[in-house]
Amino acid sequence: MIHIRKAQREDAERVLAISAQIWDGNDYVPSTLADWLTNPAGELLVAEVDGTVVSFAYRTWLLPRHAWLQGIRTDPAYRGKGVGRTLSRALIDRSCQDGATRISLSTYFDNTPSIRIIESLGFERVASFVYLERTEKAPPLPATANPGIAEPTPEEVVQFVSVSPYLATAHGWYPFEWLFLPFAARPQAFLEKTPYRIGTRSNGGWRSLLCASPGREDGDAAFLSFLDGDPGDFAALLVQASRDLAATTWESMIPRCGEDVALALACLRRLGFTPWQDGREDVLCYDLIVSRLKGRSAA
């Protein structure tokens, strides 16, 4: 019998014990658990079997009425028994009760259990990305001539991004770390997530644009959310951004949907960014429109 309930502070020890068994102890949950347990806008649910917490998952809000699910984990000793799916369904139901009209999440392409749960609950794949990182082991960035780098206004950024091939390849979703947001729903959110924005001009307009955010804490990688325009500008923009953000390491999610690939991918690889896979899309973004769930449990 699976019992789902809201997590309490006393569950932290079990949650951490489960997390420690995930990905050789490299799970991010320990770094965020305190926030998950206290954030009034979030909801951490746990699943119990015979009174023992065996699984947990978290919901936060991307935008008003747009929920984001993340961090589902089941104790390896209890996997394949339907706990993960039951918990996911409960999190969807609770999100709907709390006013969600849309629910999204991301997962890795080879996470079969996760994908089976997601797709069986009605989520549809809406975008895909290539995860890239530029570590301290990468060769130094090249010396570049400054192609006339300047700062666009927020309105110019929104205009550039909204009609960019980059956003089209991402089917309208833009990355912020492992979160993905629909740009058109609230362009202001893009500006808030990417406070660093530089570009190059030509013919009175903007030719290229880079949007990024610094690492959250000292030593964290800076995150590149957007890079599009003339590839001839990309190296200089990255060099400038690395300098301004004091970034020694970078992470990025570059849009790719089969043969439709954002221009930035090839260029970033030449600049020492490496994918975990061979450069194919590996991070998948899923979306569920609640009104389409009619007849299912979460309706």
Ligand X SMILES: CC(C)(COP(=O)(O)OP(=O)(O)OC[C@H]1O[C@@H](n2cnc3c(N)ncnc32)[C@H](O)[C@@H]1OP(=O)(O)O)[C@@H](O)C(=O)NCCC(=O)NCCS
Q: Which residues make up the interface to ligand X (CB under 6 A)?
A: 22, 55, 72-74, 79-85, 107, 111-114, 116-117, 120
- Smaller CB separation from ligand X, 53 or 261: 53
The minimum distance between CB 4 and ligand X, in angstroms, equals 12
The C-alpha atoms of residue 54 and residue 44 are separated, in whole angstroms, by 13
Query: At closest approach, how far in Å is the CB of 174 from ligand X?
Result: 19
- 211 contacts: CB under 8 Å, gap ≥ 6: 157, 161, 190, 194, 196, 197, 224, 225, 226, 227
Residue closer to ligand X (CB basis): 106 or 200: 106
> Which residue's CB is nearer to ligand X, number 233 or number 251?
251
Which lies closer to ligand X via its Cβ, residue 285 or residue 290? 285
Instruction: State in angstroms the smallest separation of the CB of 35 from ligand X.
Output: 18
Query: CB 113 → ligand X: shortest distance, Å?
Result: 3
18, amino acid identity: I
CB of 31 to ligand X, least distance (A): 16
Place of tokens 């009104």: 291
Closer residue to ligand X (CB): 84 or 275: 84
Minimum CB distance to ligand X smaller for 87 or for 263: 87
Position closest to ligand X via CB: 84
Query: What is the smallest separation between the CB atom of 47 and ligand X, expressed in angstroms?
Result: 8
Least CB distance from residue 215 to ligand X, whole Å? 22
Closer residue to ligand X (CB): 82 or 231? 82
